[in-house]
Amino acid sequence: MLEPNQTTTDRQEQPATDSVQPRLLKVEEASRYLGGLHPDTVYEMGRLGEIPVVKLKRAVLFDVRELDRWIDKKLAESKNENLSS
């Protein structure tokens, strides 16, 4: 709802801080993003290069876009395996 003396243009220019989603996820966040895998499993998969990671100094982070690409690739592989069985 608009405040008094507020135009729709004013409202649109206000930043939507509530809806900002982080692009880089911590291990715990990435584990939830990947369907509830255990954080230790996600960390180990990242360490072994099985899933894409971003290392910033000592932090191990997971890029949401890269995780989405990885998920899409795994889904395609899974569909191909099911078709060839």
Q: Which carries the bigger pLDDT value, residue 17 or residue 36?
A: 36
pLDDT confidence tier of residue 20, bands split at 50, 70 and 90: confident
Domain residue limits, the chain: 22-84
CA distance 68 to 16: 24
Considering the entire predicted model, what is its pTM?
0.70
Token digits of residue 45: 């998969």
The string of pLDDT tens digits covering residues 36-78 is 999 999 999 999 999 999 999 999 999 999 999 999 999 999 8
CA distance 54 to 62: 6
- Residues 66, 69, 29, 16: what is their CA dihedral angle, to the nearest 10 degrees? 80
pLDDT at 7: 52
CATH architecture of 22-84: Orthogonal Bundle (1.10)
Token digits of residue 14: 């206000």
pLDDT at 82: 75
CB 61 within 8 A of CB 22: no
